[in-house]
Amino acid sequence: MTEAQAQKKIQALIDDLDYHNELYYQKDSPEISDYEFDQRLEKLIALENEFPQFKYPHSPSQRVGGTITKNFETVKHKHPMLSLGNTYSKEELIDWDNRVKKGLGTDQLAYFCELKFDGVALSLWYQNGELVRAVTRGDGTQGDDITANARTIRSIPLKIKQQVPEMFEVRGEAFFPKHEFERVNLERKEEGKDLLANPRNAASGTLKMQDSSLVAHRKLDCYLYNLIEEGHPQSTCHSQSIGLLEKWGFHVSSTYRKCRNIDEVLDYIQEWEIKRHDLPSDTDGVVIKVDDLNQQNELGFTAKSPRWAIAYKYQAESATTRLETVTFQVGRTGSVTPVANLSPVLIAGTTVKRASLHNANEIERLDLHEGDMVFVEKGGEIIPKITGVDETARAQNSKKIEYITHCPECSSELIRQEGEANHYCLNAEGCPPQILGRIEHFIQRKAMDIDSLGSETIRGLLQRNKIQHFSDLYQLTFEDLNGLSFESFSEKKGEVSIRSLREKSAKNIIDAIETSKLVPFERVLFALGIRYVGQTVAEKLARHFKSIDALAKANFENLIAVDEIGDRIAESVLAFFAETQNQEAISMLRKAGVQFLISEEEGVTGTTLEGKSFVISGVFEQFSRDELKDTIKAHGGKVVSSISTKLDYLLAGDDMGPAKKEKALKLEITIISERDFIQMIAD
3-state SS assignment for residue 514: helix
3-state SS assignment for residue 417: coil
Out of 47, 207, 287, 425, name the contact with ligand IVH by CB under 6 A. 287
Please report whether residue 296 would count as binding ligand IVH according to CB under 6 A.
no
* Three state DSSP letters for 50-90: HCHHHCCCCCHHHHHCCCECCCCCEEECCCCCCCCCEECCH
Determine whether 56 is exposed, middle or buried from the number of CB atoms within 10 Å of its CB (0-12, 13-18, 19+): middle
Please report whether residue 241 would count as binding ligand IVH according to CB under 6 A.
no
Please report whether residue 291 would count as binding ligand IVH according to CB under 6 A.
no
Least distance from ligand IVH to the Cβ atom of residue 205, Å: 16
By CB under 6 A, which span of 58-66, 304-312, 364-372, 437-445 interacts with ligand IVH? 304-312
Name which of 248 and 623 has its Cβ closer to ligand IVH: 248
Pairwise CA distance, residues 104 & 506, whole Å: 71
Pairwise CA distance, residues 549 & 266, whole Å: 65
Pairwise CA distance, residues 273 & 438, whole Å: 40
Name which of 96 and 225 has its Cβ closer to ligand IVH: 225
How would you classify residue 294: left for phi > 0, otherwise alpha for psi between -120 and 50, otherwise beta?
Answer: alpha
Please report whether residue 116 would count as binding ligand IVH according to CB under 6 A.
yes
Pairwise CA distance, residues 233 & 230, whole Å: 6
Pairwise CA distance, residues 484 & 461, whole Å: 8
Pairwise CA distance, residues 298 & 95, whole Å: 19
Please report whether residue 224 would count as binding ligand IVH according to CB under 6 A.
no
Please report whether residue 220 would count as binding ligand IVH according to CB under 6 A.
no
Out of 14, 75, 84, 366, name the contact with ligand IVH by CB under 6 A. 84
Least distance from ligand IVH to the Cβ atom of residue 119, Å: 7
> For residue 136, what are the β-bridge partners?
122
DSSP 236-280: SBHHHHHHHHHHTT----TT-EEESSHHHHHHHHHHHHHHGGGSS
By rule CB under 6 A, what count of residues binds ligand IVH? 15
Q: Of residues 119-158, which lie at the interface with ligand IVH (CB under 6 A)? A: 121, 137
Least distance from ligand IVH to the Cβ atom of residue 587, Å: 56
- Pairing status of strand 613-617 against strand 649-652: parallel
Least distance from ligand IVH to the Cβ atom of residue 311, Å: 6
Per the document, the length of the chain is 683
Name which of 285 and 460 has its Cβ closer to ligand IVH: 285
- Pairing status of strand 638-639 against strand 613-617: parallel
3-state SS assignment for residue 34: helix
Please report whether residue 83 would count as binding ligand IVH according to CB under 6 A.
yes
By CB under 6 A, which span of 116-124, 373-381, 429-437, 538-546 interacts with ligand IVH? 116-124
Name which of 135 and 554 has its Cβ closer to ligand IVH: 135
Please report whether residue 242 would count as binding ligand IVH according to CB under 6 A.
no
Name which of 309 and 439 has its Cβ closer to ligand IVH: 309
Name which of 117 and 168 has its Cβ closer to ligand IVH: 117
Pairwise CA distance, residues 570 & 575, whole Å: 9
Chain position whose Cβ is nearest to ligand IVH? 121
3-state SS assignment for residue 13: helix
Please report whether residue 250 would count as binding ligand IVH according to CB under 6 A.
no
**Which of 636, 666, 679, 634 has its CA nearest to residue 651?**
679
Please report whether residue 82 would count as binding ligand IVH according to CB under 6 A.
yes
Name which of 88 and 556 has its Cβ closer to ligand IVH: 88
**Which of 172, 159, 185 has its CA nearest to residue 59?**
159
Please report whether residue 272 would count as binding ligand IVH according to CB under 6 A.
no
Please report whether residue 87 would count as binding ligand IVH according to CB under 6 A.
no
Q: Which residues are catalytic?
A: 116
DSSP 333-363: TSEEEEEEEEEEEEETTEEEEEEE--SHHHH
Out of 72, 126, 225, 649, name the contact with ligand IVH by CB under 6 A. 225
Name which of 109 and 588 has its Cβ closer to ligand IVH: 109
Out of 144, 169, 173, 191, name the contact with ligand IVH by CB under 6 A. 173
Name which of 227 and 533 has its Cβ closer to ligand IVH: 227
Pairwise CA distance, residues 241 & 614, whole Å: 53
Out of 30, 103, 138, 306, name the contact with ligand IVH by CB under 6 A. 306
By CB under 6 A, which span of 41-49, 110-118, 456-464, 616-624 interacts with ligand IVH? 110-118
Name which of 171 and 660 has its Cβ closer to ligand IVH: 171
Name which of 93 and 309 has its Cβ closer to ligand IVH: 309
By CB under 6 A, which span of 126-134, 269-277, 306-314, 562-570 interacts with ligand IVH? 306-314
Least distance from ligand IVH to the Cβ atom of residue 284, Å: 8
Least distance from ligand IVH to the Cβ atom of residue 309, Å: 6
Cβ neighbours for 327, distance < 8 A, ≥ 6 positions apart? 338, 339, 341, 408
CB 453 within 8 A of CB 443: yes
Phi, psi (rounded to 5 degrees) for 562: -80, 135
What's the distance, CA 520 to chain centroid?
Answer: 20
Least distance from ligand IVH to the Cβ atom of residue 310, Å: 10
Considering just the CA atoms, what is the radius of gyration of the chain in Å?
Answer: 29
Least distance from ligand IVH to the Cβ atom of residue 81, Å: 6
CA angle, 563 then 177 then 151, to 5°: 60
Pairwise CA distance, residues 207 & 662, whole Å: 60
By CB under 6 A, which span of 82-90, 150-158, 198-206, 353-361 interacts with ligand IVH? 82-90
**What is the per-residue binding string for ligand IVH in 477-516, x denoting contact by CB under 6 A?**
----------------------------------------
Which contacts (CB < 8 Å, 24+ apart) does range 130-138 have? 130/57, 130/58, 130/158, 130/159, 130/160, 131/156, 131/157, 131/158, 131/159, 133/75, 135/75, 135/77, 136/207, 137/81, 138/74, 138/77, 138/81
Name which of 80 and 454 has its Cβ closer to ligand IVH: 80
Please report whether residue 117 would count as binding ligand IVH according to CB under 6 A.
yes
Least distance from ligand IVH to the Cβ atom of residue 365, Å: 31
Least distance from ligand IVH to the Cβ atom of residue 122, Å: 8
Name which of 267 and 654 has its Cβ closer to ligand IVH: 267
DSSP 614-629: EEEESB-SS--HHHHH
Pairwise CA distance, residues 654 & 663, whole Å: 17
Please report whether residue 114 would count as binding ligand IVH according to CB under 6 A.
yes
Binding site for ligand IVH (CB under 6 A): 82-84, 114, 116-117, 121, 137, 173, 225-226, 287, 306, 309, 311
